[in-house]
């Protein structure tokens, strides 16, 4: 799973890692991404990590922050669903 590979060397509590993994999967599912969409799933994983590092630990808040950030980027760059 992409998100785990990216944060395995980061300092997160086990519960945060579980939440981040779930949020990553939820966001990918919401956006219709599969494991074959490496570029897009990596962007999702990076955003999950970014917001978790900023302190977003609640899974719903974390998911909403990631989706909002991706939507903002998509509107300015024309990528993602």
- The count of structural domains within the chain is 1
Q: Give residue 44's pLDDT.
A: 94
Mean pLDDT of all residues in 53-73: 93
pLDDT band, very low/low/confident/very high, at 37 (cuts 50, 70, 90):
confident
pTM: 0.82
Cα(57)–Cα(55) distance, integer angstroms: 6
pLDDT band, very low/low/confident/very high, at 78 (cuts 50, 70, 90):
low
Question: Which structural domain range is residue 18 located in?
Answer: 2-77
CA distances from 9 to 28, 60, 61 (A): 22, 24, 23
């Amino acid at each position: 799973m992409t998100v785990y590979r990216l944060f395995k060397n980061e300092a997160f509590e086990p519960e945060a890692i579980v939440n981040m993994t779930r949020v990553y999967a939820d966001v990918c599912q919401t956006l219709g991404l599969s494991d074959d969409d490496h570029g897009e799933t990596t962007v999702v994983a990076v955003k999950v990590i970014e917001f978790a590092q900023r302190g977003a630990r609640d899974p719903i808040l974390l998911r909403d922050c990631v989706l909002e950030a991706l939507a903002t980027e998509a509107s300015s760059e024309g990528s993602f669903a």
